[in-house]
Each structure stands twice: as C-alpha cells, then as structure tokens.
Amino acid sequence: MRAFDVVIIGAGAAGLMCAITAAERGRKVLLLDSSNKPGKKILMSGGGRCNFTNMYAEPANFAATNPHFCKSALARYTPWDFIGLVAKHEVPYHEKKLGQLFCDNRSKDILNLLLTECEEAGVEWHVNTSVHAIEKADAGGYALRTDLGDVAAQSLVIATGGLSIPTLGATGFGYEVARQFGHNILPTRAGLVPFTASGPLKELCTELSGTSVDCVAGCNGESFRENLLFTHRGLSGPAILQISSFWHPGDIVEINLLPDRDALEWLQSQQATRPNSELKTLLGEVFTKKMAALLAEHWFTSKPMKQYTPAQLREIADRLAAWRFMPAGTEGYRTAEVTLGGVDTREVSSKTMESLKSPGLYFVGEVLDVSGHLGGFNFQWAWASGHAAAQVV
C-alpha cells in the first residue's frame, strides 16, 4: 500500500490550491480526480476567461447557513494573494467591473499556472481515477481503495465540489463521504441559475429573447443591480443569476426596470410636458423599441399620455418599478454555476476545514455550505478554503 501525508479527492480549484500549498510545506501529496481532466470548471468559467477572483471579496458576498464560517479562511488568503500568483506567472488580466478580475486571454492560463505550481511543488496527480471505498485506518488516518490500488492517507481532503453541471464531472461523492463519517448535509439546490417561465411570462420572454436591460432584481430581502436577459425559456443575465440563489419555489421575484428614476414622477412629468406622445413612444426612449412595443402590448394599452387618469399612471409606474412574477422554476444543475447547501459548516472547523466528527478528514470548496455571489467570489472561496486546510494537513 502506498502511503501519503495527504490525499486530496477532486482536482478542481479548491483541490489544486490545497495540493500546491500542502506540497510546498513539504507534505507528500496525492491528488485524484475521477474526470478525464483537472479543473474543468476553471476552463469553462467566466465565459472562457475565468473570473478568478474579486478584489472586493468579503464575507458579505457569501450565502451560507452559518455566515461566520467563511471569515477566517477569507481573511488569511485574500484576493491579493491569488493576484500575486497570477502576476508571478505573468498571466495578463483586467477588471471587467465591480472588482471582477478576468484573464485577458483564456481560462486555461489559470489552470496552467496551477498545474505548473503542482509540478514545481511535487504533487502527484492522477485523472480518470475513482475512489471506491474509504475507511478509517487502525493506525490513524484513512485507507482508500482506488483505481491506483490501495492508498494510505494521514489526512484526507474532500474537494469534490457540488452538483452543478454533471457533464463537467460533478458528483455527489463528497456528500456521501461526509455522511459516511457522521456529517449532516444541508439540503442542496441549484444557485446562480436562470429562471424558467410558463404561461404569459414565457410568451413575453420568448418574444423578447436576446433583449438585455439594466434593472434591480429583488427576492427575500436581497437585491442586485445588474442586467437581466430575456431568453426563449425564461430569464437570465447577471441580475437573475444573483437573485436565483435567494429564491425558493413559490417565491415572488420583483424587478425594477427603471432603477435610475422615480417611475411615477417620470410618467407624470411626461404627461405634463408631452401630453400627445404615446406611452409606447416614451418607453421606446428608455428601452429598446421592440421591448417598448411588447410591454405596451402585454402590460398596458398604449395611448397618448393625456388620456391616462392619475390612477392608471400609478398602475403603469408600479408595473415598471415593481414588476412582480413567480418563476416556474430554474434550469437546475444542468446550467447552475453553484450548488447551494452542502456539508453543514457547524460540524467543520472554520480555521482548518477539519471535520469535527472525524479527525484527519477535511472539506474544502463548494462541497461545503458556502456559496458566493456571482463575480469571482466562488473561486476566491475555493482558493481560500483549500489554502486554509493546507496549513495543517
């Protein structure tokens, strides 16, 4: 049986960072992945340019049942630490907006830098390698039955991510291991995911498919100012992806389509100054002509402004500033960027990521119940949690 100080299951963002940092500390590290390539989500991320961190990452950018859990790791490995690594490898990058850092060229630059670091630190890594069984070893640590044969690990790190995008290698393996060693798994669901629509909402979305509009999207006390995108099946775009993480089936989503103005004041002033202009024409000055025409058709009866009563103007303003609808559902794990829920962080050390139920077992990255907002926060969590565990494994 081959023996290692550390065996890490899952060669995604968190597993790679943990492997590099532990090996740099002189630990003998084995990194295993059942997929045919390491870091598949890194390659797909950020539309092919990997939004690898966010300069303004802080605990408030993460959703978790225990909001304090992420604080320690995030404070000890900051966006600037990862930016330092990116600079060391001379990977060109830029800030797109709101502190979101993207590669100038391609996501592969980030994966290549991580694999180079693995090589230099002496990490042994294998893909197409499954772990069939894990047991606690009598002499301490863990014994694993793998495609490589039996392996002994003093420390075992679970970095297998969440359930989103099974075609990129996602499995529920991390949750199974957690359960095996007595952990509670908080209910999982798709996050950062488009909404699907049915009925008249679906009709509107289909007709407006491809149209993007600045808005504030709100649900359950959270709100995000970003773009909304109408699609053939429903609603997407950053505003919708962000708010989807706070939505539960049956909840109403509220959209302000006029985030820069008071809708009623604007309509009243237009009525006073342009009484003969049609509502559709005025909307066409704020939205695209197509969107204005469709809103006028689906939501309002367009007529000259002077013909609206004060009550009707209020109704129109309400619809534009507080459009409320109930999504039919989400696109689910097939397209979700993250999995909400997961290994209950109340049973894991926030300092070391070590299980409080089974010494020597660690959980890092998305398998834990920590999910970032859209914008580079999820990778920052993967780097920070992988780094935290690597200090002690």
- Total residues in contact with ligand FDA, by rule CB under 6 A: 38
Query: What number of residues does the chain have?
Result: 393
User: Quick one: which of 56, 173, 299, 300 contacts ligand FDA (CB under 6 A)?
Assistant: 173
Those residues with Cβ within 8 angstroms of residue 40's Cβ, 6 or more apart along the chain or in another chain? 12, 168, 169
Cβ atoms 1, 143 nearer than 8 A = yes
User: Quick one: which of 165, 204, 208, 282 contacts ligand FDA (CB under 6 A)?
Assistant: 165
Q: What one-letter code names the amino acid at 389?
A: A
Contact pattern from residue 307 through residue 346 relative to ligand FDA, giving x for each residue in contact according to CB under 6 A and a dash for the rest: ------------------------------xx--------
User: Quick one: which of 365, 370, 387, 388 contacts ligand FDA (CB under 6 A)?
Assistant: 365
Stretch that binds ligand FDA, among 9-17, 142-150, 287-295, 317-325 (CB under 6 A): 9-17
For residues 28, 32, 38 and 42, what is the CA-based torsion angle, rounded to 10 degrees? -80
Check binding of 15 to ligand FDA (CB under 6 A). yes
For ligand FDA, the closer CB: 51 or 154: 51
User: Quick one: which of 22, 27, 30, 51 contacts ligand FDA (CB under 6 A)?
Assistant: 51
Check binding of 159 to ligand FDA (CB under 6 A). yes
Check binding of 8 to ligand FDA (CB under 6 A). no
Instruction: Classify strands 253-256 and 212-219 as parallel, antiparallel or unpaired.
Output: antiparallel
For ligand FDA, the closer CB: 291 or 336: 336
Those residues with Cβ within 8 angstroms of residue 174's Cβ, 6 or more apart along the chain or in another chain? 9, 10, 158, 159, 160, 161, 342, 343, 363, 367
Using CA atoms, how far residue 9 sits from 32, 51, 130, 240, in Å, is: 5, 24, 9, 33
Cβ atoms 217, 243 nearer than 8 A = yes
User: Quick one: which of 188, 366, 369, 383 contacts ligand FDA (CB under 6 A)?
Assistant: 366
Q: Closest approach of Cβ 385 to ligand FDA, in Å?
A: 8
Check binding of 131 to ligand FDA (CB under 6 A). yes
- CA nearest 76: which of 392, 330, 286, 387? 387
Q: What one-letter code names the amino acid at 243?
A: I
Q: Closest approach of Cβ 353 to ligand FDA, in Å?
A: 11
Q: Closest approach of Cβ 100 to ligand FDA, in Å?
A: 8
User: Quick one: which of 379, 383, 387, 393 contacts ligand FDA (CB under 6 A)?
Assistant: 379
Q: In whole angstroms, what separates CA 320 from the centre of its chain?
A: 28
User: How many helices and strands (H and E) does the chain possess?
Assistant: 13, 21
Residues that bind ligand FDA (CB under 6 A): 9-15, 32-35, 40-41, 44-46, 50-51, 130-131, 159-161, 164-165, 169-171, 173, 337-338, 365-366, 376-379, 382
